[in-house]
């Protein structure tokens, strides 16, 4: 099957396994406009691939995804159409992942930040390199953690623990992510993809209907619990996107980046 995607997101076929790679290694997998669109549209294309049985989601280079591209996010300050499009697509990414019928294994090869973190923990199994970490720094840049963190972290880990990391944006080391229930297991970095492929091969050999129906039933719990919080989260994120605090934080980040 041919996938209609930009270069920022690639799909590699290996028998029944599809390896989806966030392909911006020079930018640490930061999500720009093209990649954001691709992440919203790849799941329907994968579901239409009748030869696919399991998906591995990973990043290229040193990162899984370092969150939103700063230049793209800054454009929202003065472009309400682009801002609204990003919110719509962000909701679509979460919804498509929740409804996607095939098992998805996250191979978190490096930092998974912001939307990258949300996508990683939405996968069915999360294998994380021992040198990787998770983080949701929305609040630190003046935004509500609306693209998933505030809504579904409390379903995966104790609320008291998730509050601290969401409020501060602090990094969650790989071993702590497993302890909290945000990742499945830690792997040595040089074994990550081998372990992901081994698990994918095992899942691909399972009875397809039984596996997919089990995933659908498990995800019903998430979908039912997330309906209200996700809608509220995206609505609140829109409000903070036009706040003075957010503008000031972004401008300060851009100034620091320019001095490097």
The CATH number assigned to the domain holding 179 equals 3.90.226.10
Q: Is residue 239 part of a domain?
A: no
Q: Is residue 229 part of a domain?
A: no
Judge whether 77 and 250 are in contact, CB under 8 Å: yes
Comparing 55 with 159, the larger pLDDT belongs to 55
Six-digit token pair at 226?
Answer: 């997330």
Three-state DSSP at 10 gives strand
Number of domains in the chain: 1
Q: Is residue 218 part of a domain?
A: no
pTM of the model: 0.95
Q: Is residue 133 part of a domain?
A: yes
Q: Is residue 144 part of a domain?
A: yes
pLDDT of res. 257: 78
pLDDT of res. 186: 98
Tens of pLDDT, residue by residue over 99-137, are 999 999 999 999 999 999 999 999 999 999 999 999 999
| Side-chain-facing half-sphere of 195: CA atoms under 13 Å | 18
Q: Is residue 216 part of a domain?
A: no
Sheet of strand 133-135, all strands in order from the earlier edge strand to the far edge: 112-113, 133-135, 172-173
Give me the helices (H) in 76-158, please. 80-99, 115-122, 149-156
Q: Is residue 95 part of a domain?
A: yes
Q: Which residues contact residue 178 at a Cβ distance below 8 angstroms, ignoring those fewer than 6 apart?
A: 128, 184, 185, 186
Backbone angles phi, psi at 66, to 5 degrees: -85, 20
- Domain residues for the domain of 141 are 9-208
Tens of pLDDT, residue by residue over 179-230, are 999 999 999 999 999 999 999 999 999 999 999 999 999 998 888 888 788 8
Residue 94: pLDDT band with limits 50, 70, 90 = very high
Q: Round to whole Å and give the CA distance between 55 and 2.
A: 16
Q: Which residues pair with residue 207 across a beta bridge? A: none
Q: Round to whole Å and give the CA distance between 69 and 66.
A: 8
Judge whether 13 and 24 are in contact, CB under 8 Å: no
Q: Is residue 162 part of a domain?
A: yes
């Amino acid at each position: 099957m041919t996938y209609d995607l930009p270069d920022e997101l690639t799909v590699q076929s290996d028998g029944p396994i599809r390896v989806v790679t966030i392909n911006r290694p020079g930018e640490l997998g930061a999500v720009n406009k093209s990649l954001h669109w691709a992440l919203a549209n790849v799941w329907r294309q994968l579901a239409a691939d009748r030869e696919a049985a399991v998906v591995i989601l990973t990043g290229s280079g040193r990162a899984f995804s370092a969150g939103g591209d700063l230049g793209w996010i800054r454009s929202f300050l003065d472009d309400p159409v682009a801002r609204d499009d990003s919110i719509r697509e962000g909701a679509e990414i979460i919804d498509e992942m929740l409804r996607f019928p095939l098992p998805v294994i996250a191979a978190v090869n490096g930092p998974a930040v912001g939307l990258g973190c949300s996508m990683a923990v939405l996968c069915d199994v999360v294998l994380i390199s021992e040198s990787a970490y998770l983080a949701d720094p929305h609040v630190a840049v003046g935004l509500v953690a609306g693209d998933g963190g505030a809504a579904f972290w409390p379903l995966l880990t104790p609320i008291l623990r998730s509050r601290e990391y969401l409020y501060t944006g602090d990094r969650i080391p790989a071993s702590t992510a497993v302890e909290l229930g945000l990742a499945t297991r830690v792997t040595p970095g040089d074994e990550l993809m081998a372990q992901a492929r081994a698990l994918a091969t095992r899942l691909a050999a399972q009875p397809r209907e039984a596996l997919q129906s089990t995933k659908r039933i498990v995800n019903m719990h998430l979908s039912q619990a997330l309906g209200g919080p996700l809608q509220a989260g995206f609505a609140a994120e829109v409000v903070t996107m036009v706040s003075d605090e957010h503008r000031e934080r972004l401008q300060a980040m851009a100034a620091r980046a320019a001095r490097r």
